[in-house]
Amino acid sequence: MMNYKKRERSTNDDDYNGDVKRQCIRVDPSIFDDIERELTNAELQQNGEHPNPTNIKRSKCCHNRQKYNCKDCGGTGICEHKRQHSKCKDCKGASICEHNRVRSECRNCKGSSICKHGRRKYDCRECEGSGFCEHDNRRYTCAQCGKRCIHGRRKTICKDCHGSGICEHARLRYYCRDCGGGGICTHGKRRIRCKDCKKLRTIAISSISLQQK
């Protein structure tokens, strides 16, 4: 046990009136993550396992998500636009490149998620991406893999099954304006149907082609 020495009473100290008062100390919340990491590493070493970042157990909230990235819990990793800080284009997150895309999925930046065929590795059949199942179908739409619900729809976007792709407003989360879905542009329209976004996209593509020349 550690012995803590009490602070002596001083006549010149304005913080003390009579008896000694206890002072509250502000603690950085990240210190608890460090303590949890050290305890987890100690357990792994006792079990003969090598401690590394992939073995560290992250604390989950009541929604079965990481507290840091949970929108419902108001995690610190969520910005004011209800997106992850690092992947938010409006906040200019660290994962957003100069072409206003996620850096790992940007073809111009040669992101790590882009294969040699110019597609996302996940969606490339030639690279045997994990987005395709053994039946050569999209994994999330394959009826043989059991990815469809009893209503014949995709489980994630089925309102009757309360899929994870359905928000609290009974809409597709991706296209919900109130939830700040990724399918809604800055003009308040669906990104794929917005004429203003198409104009900006064509201007950006033409400027990139001129720079390459």
CA 61 to chain centre: 14
Can you give the pTM of this predicted structure? Answer: 0.44
Tokens coding 203: 């201007």
**Residue 141: pLDDT over 80:** no
Q: How does DSSP classify residue 171?
A: S
**Residue 149: pLDDT over 50:** yes
Average pLDDT over residues 159-177: 89
The answer to whether residues 81 and 93 touch, using CB atoms and an 8 Å cutoff, is no
The answer to whether residues 165 and 173 touch, using CB atoms and an 8 Å cutoff, is yes
What is the three-class DSSP state of 30? helix
Residue 125 backbone dihedrals phi, psi, to 5 degrees? -70, -40
Q: How confident is the model at residue 76 (pLDDT cuts 50, 70, 90)?
A: confident
Q: What is the spatial distance between Cα 189 and Cα 170, in angstroms, rounded to a whole number?
A: 18
Q: Looking at this protein, which amino acid is placed at residue 34?
A: D
**Residue 4: pLDDT over 60:** no
